[in-house]
Amino acid sequence: MKKSFDLPRLVRFAATLFFAFGFGWAIHTWSYLDDALRADGEVVDIVAIENTAKDSDKQRQTLYFPVVRFMTRDGRAINFQAGTGSQSPIHSAGDPVTILYNPEAPEDARLDDFASLWGPALAMAAMGAFALFLSHLLQKRRDRKQTLS
């Protein structure tokens, strides 16, 4: 008997990986928050980066990332580019922002907002949920075909 390719199982495996990466990212964020110090910063620039992938209209997308300057508790001025960008600039030069930074490595700083902290973990979890839903649909389709055969 020929063994068929088990697509639902493969998609469930992918869902497990997405959930695992999302959980790992959340653990990393919690660990970061345990040690991070909060500081007031100021947006000093906006960096526009053109995405090499094209959207559904065959247009290249530009993502905007704020560059923030803040002072550490020991008085050092640090500039960093936020790790999360947006399709339209959310901040402007001169905007005040709250940041979190690692006191051991102040260049490891993040904006203190939900998207910057939890966005990657939630995106992974959402992809995992979608993959799990897709595997369920594929399994139902396979079961229906086997019943009809």
Distances in Å between the Cα of 58 and the Cα atoms of 26, 55, 62, 64, 85 are 34, 5, 13, 19, 20
Encode pLDDT of 51-101 as tens digits: 776 666 667 788 999 999 999 999 999 999 998 888 888 899 999 999 999
Among 38, 39, 91, CA closest to 64 = 91
Cα–Cα distance measured from residue 147 to residue 43, given in angstroms and rounded to the nearest whole number: 61
Residue-range domain boundaries for the chain: 10-140
Q: How many CB atoms lie within 10 A of CB 64?
A: 16
Whole-number pLDDT of residue 89: 87
Alpha carbon of residue 6 to chain centroid: 30
Question: Could you tell me the pLDDT band of residue 5, with boundaries at 50, 70 and 90?
Answer: confident
| Whole-number pLDDT of residue 13 | 94
Return all residues near 101 (Cβ < 8 A) that are at least 6 apart: 36, 37, 39, 70, 72, 78, 108, 109, 110
